[in-house]
Amino acid sequence: MEKGGPLRAHCIHISRGNSKILRNALAGIGGGLLMLGIALGTASANAPAGASVEKNTPKTPAVAKPASTAKPAQAAKPTSSAAARPAKPAQNAKVSRSASNPKKNVARAPAQGVRASKVKAEPGYNSMGSRLGLRSELADLSLNSSAVMVLDQASGEVLLEKNADAALPIASITKVMTAMVVLDAAQPLDESIVIAREDTQLEKYSASRLKVGASFTRAELLHLALMSSENRAANALGRSYPGGLPAFVIAMNDKARALGMTSSTFVEPTGLSSGNVASPRDLAVLVNAAHHVPLIRDYSTDRDAVVRVGGRQQQFKNTNALTRDETWDIGLSKTGFIRDAGKCLVMQARLDQREVIIVMLDAEGSAKRLADAERIRRWLSIERDRQASAVRS
């Protein structure tokens, strides 16, 4: 008999006699340690006294290999039925747990095919024109602006209109009327006016480089109000009017009635109030009248100007980018914006050998306002060519 014969013989007898039990224990992992314990208990009962497998296995090298057959059974410690799953499905279960928490998935990675945009969008606003549903109104030309008027300045012929009689907030287009009233009063343009705290306490906050205590001539304030739409400049002009702001507002409304602006109302000189309203038809009348005033033409179309503010020279630019576009011949310009008014623009321009007045109220953004102006220019050129072709035929 080989070395360690009796003990080895018992071990062989155990492995042969109970192989079926062990196979069932391994195959039915769900039985776990309970099945394995029963099998081992039965084997121990059949062994001779003192032949403890536990004790003798480490002492006898020949028993080491058979004892290792019990190691796979140790993997059966988890007693749940999920333990019977293979390794790869267990990995899928991990993914399933992650997918069950959508918040974690969103935080870890964006949706497939979605890239973060670096383009800064313009802030949205709910203008009066939008609330009235005017933007979607049909016209001869598709435009984003809610209300439009294009007029042949020489003949007075209406070339294009869209909601032309809708009285809407006009924002800083108001400053054209402010300039008209200031110049009608014939106050000295070289008179110094100091920016007061009152000029900063306006209806809406607006950034300004005109600090309290800074001194400007009336001409400089007029220039900054028309070119750069400086609200403090416009308020200071109204405040320094004979009788102050109340008298100035009365003069603004009197001027509107004198010009025949029947749907217009003015409540202050800057345009920050939504109470300043007018229709495109009224504003075409105002632009036509203002275009006959050389100082308004010059100041409103200057591309930029350098003005001394508090002992320092500062550069101010025109708020209308088209004044810096060499392809446009603009004789008067004024932009405007508050949330209730949207993006507004009035111009006198020479297009295709014709003097025209363009009024656009309530575009959804600066880019769309400029796009509307370009679209109108192209449309006028096409219409002119079409009419000329019709005449020749």
244-259 and 231-239 helices, crossing angle to 10°: 100
Task: Measure the CA–CA gap between 144 and 55, rounded to whole angstroms.
Answer: 92
Collect all residues with Cβ–Cβ distance below 8 Å to 354 and sequence separation of at least 6. 152, 154, 380, 384
Rg for the chain, CA atoms, rounded: 44
Whether 59 is a known active-site residue: answer no
- Residue 87: is it exposed, middle or buried by C-beta count within 10 angstroms (0-12/13-18/19+)? exposed
* DSSP code per residue over 320-375: -GGGG-TT--EEEEEEEEETTTEEEEEEEEEETTEEEEEEEEEESSHHHHHHHHHH
294-301 and 174-184 helices, crossing angle to 10°: 140
Whether 175 is a known active-site residue: answer yes
Alpha helices (runs of H) in the chain, residue ranges in sequence order: 5-17, 19-27, 32-46, 53-59, 61-67, 71-74, 87-99, 102-108, 128-131, 174-184, 218-227, 231-239, 244-259, 280-290, 294-301, 366-392
The answer to whether 285 and 311 are in contact (CB under 8 A) is no
Collect all residues with Cβ–Cβ distance below 8 Å to 347 and sequence separation of at least 6. 287, 320, 322, 330, 331, 332, 333, 334, 357, 358, 373
* Block residue for tokens 């924002």: 171
Kindly state the tokens that stand for 250. 């009365």
* Catalytic option among 162, 175, 334, 343: 175
> How far is C-alpha 53 from the geometric centre of its chain's CA atoms?
77
> How far is C-alpha 255 from the geometric centre of its chain's CA atoms?
40
Measured torsion, CA atoms of residues 4, 5, 8, 14, in degrees rounded to the nearest 10: -150
Task: Measure the CA–CA gap between 265 and 253, rounded to whole angstroms.
Answer: 6
* Catalytic option among 127, 172, 273, 300: 172
Whether 172 is a known active-site residue: answer yes
Task: Measure the CA–CA gap between 218 and 314, rounded to whole angstroms.
Answer: 17
Write out the catalytic residue numbers. 172, 175, 229
